[in-house]
Homo-oligomer: A and B are copies of this chain.
Amino acid sequence: MNRAAIVGIGHSKFGKRMDVSINELAWEAVKPALDDSGLSQNDIEFHAVGNLGFWSEELLPAVTVGEYCGFNSGSMKTEAACASGSAALKVAYDSIISGNTKIAMAIGVEKMYNSPNPTVIELIGRAGNYFWEFENFGLTFPGYYALYATRYLNEYNASEYDLCLASIKAHHYGSLNPNAQFQKEISYEDCINSKYIAWPLKLYDSSPITDGAAAVILASDKVAKKITDTPIYIDAQGYATGSANLSRREDFTGLNASKRAAEMAYKRAGIDDPKKSFDLFEVHDCFTIAEVMAYEDLGLAKKGKGVQLLREGQTYHDGKFPTNSDGGLKAKGHPIGATGISMAVEIAKQLRNEAEKGRQVKVSKGRALSHNVGGTGHYAYVTIFSRSD
């Protein structure tokens, strides 16, 4: 089997981006990725675009982004709800390791502010089982995750104060990330006094509506070594699909799909103990409760003990499990189709020791993980990256 390595990364400013079209926004990530790799558009043999796009003016972004960026390659759009970016990464990754393609690009882009609120909330809400839960019960995403939070807090003696610890950490690292939507620290009081969105989740428990783009260029091992001295390899991916119906979930304190995706990824990469294997975790913290569940689903803490990692500060850079060094979905922002690629960009940057001051993690194991969830565990993708070959 061929190996695939990241040889170029690019990332737009995340935030409210009414100043650009979706194609222009994608270019803000594609251009630096090309520059970073020293490649030109003609070198890209296939490009996959992660995008949800219900709210877009352009419904075929793979074509319009590809043309605006000057590509001459084959293409498709991928959708796996909030894991659409990781699905695009899978397409590019498989294209390389299959041997069919030498150089491929995975782009994630989303322009959500185009859609007037609350339409965007309604459209995100349909990213589950429309007929039963959205139409009949009116559940939207804060509501979905509030169900998980309620159960978790009750079951494991945790509190809204505990969840705020995740938000404070996210805003701390976001404050150091020039591409983050929110670049300011928040206090305990800011979080705990913020308004309820869906009890017990508050404004500061929730990731924002975001416009943004991210891009990675992948190449086969042989080609990668000619392009860069710091290839970042994709060692393995795991993926799983969960029930579309929350009413069929047996567990409301974790995401079954996340667990299965992580197990598959660990097995494929030969990881025996995830607690000893990674310098950095990029996890899907669309809500603070999602970060706590991710700790447990990824095997970093036992059931009900994820919240303890927050209390002990173990997911700060000086703790055991540095997590979301870019501010995470909470502070960096969550432009749906871009999020999975944004995680890959951050990991490559960190494993190359190129992150901004204060954000750079200590790279000793040379390995990092991204955990990208679509819906409420409808989809899950776990990807393992490494610096050395």
Partner of A73, one of B90, B91, B123, B241: B241
Tell me, in angstroms, the Cα distance from A127 to B60 when the chains sit together. Answer: 6
Given the known interface contacts A97-B98, A241-B73, the answer about A379 and B63 at a Cβ–Cβ threshold of 8 Å is yes
CA distance A264 to B100 in the complex (A): 11
The reply on A105 being an interface residue by CB < 8 A is: no
- Chain B residue with the shortest CB-CB distance to A124: B59
Nearest chain-B residue to A97 (Cβ)?
B98
Q: What chain B residues lie within 8 Å of A97 (beta carbons)?
A: 98-100
Q: Does A26 contact B (CB under 8 A)?
A: no
A interface size (C-beta, 8 A): 60
Is A240 in contact with chain B by the CB < 8 A criterion? yes
Interface residues of A in 64-100 (CB under 8 A from B): 64, 66-67, 71-81, 84, 87, 90-91, 93-95, 97-100
In whole angstroms, how far apart are the Cα atoms of A57 and B241 in the complex?
Answer: 20
Instruction: Check: A243 CB closer than 8 A to any chain B CB.
Output: yes
Chain-B contact segment, one of A12-20, A28-36, A128-136, A345-353: A128-136
Residues of B within 8 A of A71 (CB): 241
Cross-chain contact B75 with A80 (CB below 8 angstroms): yes
**C-alpha spacing A131/B68, complex, angstroms:** 13
Q: Which residue of B lies closest to A47 (CB)?
A: B241
Given known A-B contacts A77-B80, A100-B97, A375 and B241 have beta carbons under 8 A apart: no
Q: Which of A74, A84, A239 has the most CB atoms of chain B within a 10 A radius of its CB?
A: A74
A62 at the interface (CB under 8 A from B): yes
Q: Are A60 and B74 in contact (CB under 8 A)?
A: no
Report how far A57 CA is from B126 CA in the complex, Å: 9
Residues of A within 8 A of B (CB): 1, 21, 46-47, 54, 57-60, 62-64, 66-67, 71-81, 84, 87, 90-91, 93-95, 97-100, 123, 126-131, 237-245, 261, 264, 268, 374-375, 378-379, 381
